[in-house]
A and B are shown apart, each in its own frame.
Chain A
Amino acid sequence: MKTAQGTPYIITVTVDTSSLGVPYYPTNDFGPLMKGLVIGGLGIFHVFLAQFAIGGGVLMTYFEWLSGKGKLPSARRFTSGYFKVLVLVSFVVGALTGVGMWFTSIQTSPRTIGLMVDTFHWVWATEWTFFALEVIAGYCFYRYGDRLDGRSRLFLLGLYTTAAWFSLFWINGILSWQLTPGAWLESGDLWAGFFNPTFWPSLFFRTFAAMAIAALVAALVISVSPFERDEQKELLHRAAHLLAPMALMPLLGAWYLLAMPKDSRSWVLGGSPAMSMFFGLGAGASLLVGLYALFGLLLRRLYINSATASLLIVLGFAATAGGEFVREGARKPFTVRETLYSNAMTPAEIVTMREQGSVTLDPYPLRDAADFPNDQVRLGAKVYRFQCSVCHTVGGVNGLVHLAGTWTAEQTRLNVAKLQHTKPFMPPFAGTPEELEALVRYIEWEAASRPKEFEVTSDPAELAQIKRWLDEAGTAPGYTTASEKKR
């Protein structure tokens, strides 16, 4: 039996190593692109479209209600045109990029998506019933809306909006669980994980973001539609009402940050330049949109044309990109906090792999194995593929050669052996001293432009030193402080 001791709020994972079966998957090389960038890029695009679909429903329901009350006569004409945009963009690309998120998640980290599906498949299935209702209500409105009375239109739009928002409700629980699984870690209780510490701030934040995106798209649709100038002004003003809740976003953002684990918060607030920069991008873009909404649309001091509306949508997209990047990045070194590391290993498996090796049982051979100069470099390449390639490339984005190519051999050995302390958003190294040495040699070989001849190192003293460093580093995450470890 092996035990991995974590932080005070990490469960102590005990595992019977005799039955440990790490599922090995074939690992694809994304070339110079980091896998995180691929899923991040698609994710941002999908989230933007999905939030547009939700906010669009809120906007149209509001407009339909205004029309029914006789407060906005042109609303009904606008709603029909806007809904066609929604169907053509959100129903098609939004729905398919949603499926794409699943497939891309499989490409980047099959174990992570597998764990999410295992844990939340009934929640996901429930979400599917709402998505189906959203599609059905939406299509009913799309096909028959122009021939329906106001009350029926309002019913269909209300149904569409409610279903779309509940889709967000369910998915938000799963996504926020990844960062803050809360009491699920101790009890394994589904609802403790679903209604986790970041659930509510995230849900409200996304709801208001959805309304803001819909209002910005509405501004573009209104500005290019054949309405009279006065009609346009009135429609723009009413659409801008959906931007008003943005005033609460700073509070919700602060709530979200406070609910995050302390180490994750520290990455965002200066600990990681990239994450801080994206946080700044998101906050700055939101602020600009908010200011324009306040002065231009709500106070009616400025007019909005199609160019300005397009620019505001781009800013809205930038804000979404910043927010999503922060959400994804703040989870490091985990994909599911305290449960599965970024490279898809559990804390308990790392303990075992320190003794048995991480790639000993990997059934997938190296591609182009003959290109490598010796077995040690081949082993290093397999270790890189299994442990590093989910977040790093060799020489591209976040490339190991750029990061560690200029280090001395001893420096690389030390830094990798104590990886979680070298950079606390990195997982612990999961392998034997021999595997670590092989990884060091592989990085050196790549940094040396892949020479045909390359020396094999096998100094027992060096391996013993690596073993000492690995033991000193332990297998707990690096962000634990000394006092927490003592406890």
Chain B
Amino acid sequence: MDAPFPFGFPGPTAFYLATYVLTLVAHVVFMNYVLAGTGVLLVRQIRGKSGTSDVLAELLRDWLPFALSAAITAGIAPLLFIQILYKKAFYTANLLLFHRWMLILPALIVGFYLLYAQKTAFVKARPRLKVLVTTGALACFLFTALSWTENYLLARSEGAWAPMYASKSMIYENREILPRMLLWTLGALPTLAVLLGWQLHRRERAGSPVETATFQRVARLGLGGLVVAGACAAGYAMLVGPAARAHAVGPMALPWFVAAAAGVVVEGAGFVGLYRAQANRGKWLGIASAGLFFVILGTTVVREVLRITAVDFAALYPEHARAAQVSGRWLFLGFFLVNAVLATWAIRTALTRAERPAA
């Protein structure tokens, strides 16, 4: 396949691939906030001194439950389209992992409630309990991340299916799992930094002063995340072997690989600017956000190209073509637009009509 993703595929396949990737990008943004945010909150709670206020910890505690809800809601769309694109492989991986896979549901429910528990006065007043609660939530989210990583790798390894079934094992052993999970987890830090930066910026514009040091902390978090995630990506590239490396920079993925790399540079510049800025931080956050968009989009496409090239993807074209014959896409598009407008209206109503809380 010599054309860049998603060109070069039959129309229906390209359409579903593009839809899948775009919806996955939205999910990844919120997922990164939850995963990295819970980790950062835990670190701040462990290192924090009692009696001192911590704006970042407050923000995270306040917004993490919503972010998890948003991550789950945004995750439903790619979950739908992955079933069109890779039905048999996705279902088979689900079935093979069985109880292990299904455990992500109670894990997420527990994690959800632990995030809500963080907001209660009872937990807030007890530093050790606070750490315990956040540790529990983080463990739930890391377990979910581990399970998804396993699922992804198992789904594209058809040769492993029958032996794994016969072995009764519900754990897929693959040397890529932990490095890959590390890459995605640490790669979540820059996303968190951008979103936290915007939250602080909005807070400041609403009249609550935010110290420059807090913005600098966020910028350091983003830059540090870029560095460690970059190192992990390099390590992971060494691990996956020459064939996968060739596909990652092959004609299908190259433009996206370049976009992601350029995105890292732009995002890094945004963080540096944010670190130095005394005012006009919105501009630097905008630059970092633009870079972030290309990083997430580019890496998501490269991830998809690696899956496409690992399976007999051409054999799935007829299934995609059959799925594309059913009607309803204009219905979806119409309601997507209408509901997007209504959602914006709801948010605008809430933000503009709500009385400011008393200082």
A residues near B (Cβ < 8 Å) are 23, 25-28, 88, 91-93, 95-97, 99-100, 102-104, 106-107, 110, 113-114, 117-126, 128-133, 135-137, 139-141, 143-144, 147-149, 152, 155-156, 159, 163, 189-191, 363-367
Whether B354 contacts A137 by the Cβ 8 Å rule is no
A129 CB to closest chain B CB, in angstroms?
Answer: 4
* Known A107-B95, A118-B322; further 17 A-B contacts with Cβ < 8 A: A25-B95, A118-B84, A120-B326, A125-B77, A126-B332, A126-B336, A132-B73, A132-B74, A135-B70, A135-B73, A144-B351, A147-B355, A148-B355, A155-B346, A156-B346, A156-B349, A365-B165
Query: B339: which of A119, A133, A149 is its contact (CB, 8 Å)?
Result: A133
Cβ of A23: which chain B residues have Cβ within 8 Å of it?
88
Whether B72 contacts A140 by the Cβ 8 Å rule is no
- Chain B residue with Cβ nearest A100: B105
Cβ of A25: which chain B residues have Cβ within 8 Å of it?
88, 91-92, 95
Whether B342 contacts A131 by the Cβ 8 Å rule is no
Whether B323 contacts A121 by the Cβ 8 Å rule is yes
B114 CB to closest chain A CB, in angstroms?
Answer: 11
Whether B69 contacts A135 by the Cβ 8 Å rule is yes
Whether A365 contacts B98 by the Cβ 8 Å rule is no
Once A96-B108, A122-B331, A124-B80 are accepted as A-B contacts, the answer to whether A104 and B102 lie under 8 Å apart by CB is yes
A168–B354 CA distance with the chains assembled, in angstroms: 30
Query: B109: which of A26, A92, A119, A123 is its contact (CB, 8 Å)?
Result: A92
Whether A107 contacts B98 by the Cβ 8 Å rule is yes
Q: Is B283 part of the binding interface, using a Cβ–Cβ cutoff of 8 Å?
A: no
- Chain A residue with Cβ nearest B76: A128
A414 CB to closest chain B CB, in angstroms?
Answer: 34
- Chain A residue with Cβ nearest B158: A363
A411–B329 CA distance with the chains assembled, in angstroms: 52
- 22 A–B contacts, CB within 8 A, in A order: A25-B91, A25-B95, A91-B69, A99-B72, A110-B91, A110-B95, A121-B80, A121-B323, A122-B327, A122-B332, A126-B332, A126-B335, A135-B70, A136-B347, A144-B351, A148-B353, A152-B349, A190-B326, A364-B162, A365-B162, A367-B165, A367-B166
A133–B76 CA distance with the chains assembled, in angstroms: 13
Cβ of A97: which chain B residues have Cβ within 8 Å of it?
105
Nearest first, the 6 closest Cβ-Cβ pairs linking A and B are A122-B328, A140-B350, A110-B91, A147-B354, A144-B354, A144-B350
Whether B94 contacts A107 by the Cβ 8 Å rule is yes
- Chain B residue with Cβ nearest A139: B66
A364–B347 CA distance with the chains assembled, in angstroms: 51
B358 CB to closest chain A CB, in angstroms?
Answer: 10
B134 CB to closest chain A CB, in angstroms?
Answer: 17
Cβ of A118: which chain B residues have Cβ within 8 Å of it?
84, 87, 319, 322-323, 326
Chain B, residues 330-349, CB within 8 Å of chain A (1/0): the string is 01100110011011001101
Which B residues from 82 to 134 make CB contacts under 8 A with A? 83-84, 87-88, 91-92, 94-96, 98, 101-102, 105, 108-109, 112-113, 116
Cβ of B319: which chain A residues have Cβ within 8 Å of it?
118
Bin the interface of chain B by size: 35 or more
Cβ of B332: which chain A residues have Cβ within 8 Å of it?
122, 125-126, 129
Q: Which of A27, A88, A144, A366 has the most CB of B within 10 A?
A: A144
A363–B164 CA distance with the chains assembled, in angstroms: 12
Cβ of B328: which chain A residues have Cβ within 8 Å of it?
120-123, 125-126, 190
Q: Is B231 part of the binding interface, using a Cβ–Cβ cutoff of 8 Å?
A: no
A47 CB to closest chain B CB, in angstroms?
Answer: 16
A111–B168 CA distance with the chains assembled, in angstroms: 22
Q: Is B148 part of the binding interface, using a Cβ–Cβ cutoff of 8 Å?
A: no
Whether A96 contacts B105 by the Cβ 8 Å rule is yes
A107 CB to closest chain B CB, in angstroms?
Answer: 6
Once A25-B91, A99-B105, A103-B102 are accepted as A-B contacts, the answer to whether A131 and B76 lie under 8 Å apart by CB is yes
Whether B354 contacts A163 by the Cβ 8 Å rule is no
B264 CB to closest chain A CB, in angstroms?
Answer: 30
Whether A137 contacts B76 by the Cβ 8 Å rule is no
- Chain B residue with Cβ nearest A135: B73
A130–B350 CA distance with the chains assembled, in angstroms: 19
Q: Is B161 part of the binding interface, using a Cβ–Cβ cutoff of 8 Å?
A: yes
Whether B80 contacts A92 by the Cβ 8 Å rule is no
Whether B339 contacts A130 by the Cβ 8 Å rule is yes
- Chain A residue with Cβ nearest B94: A106
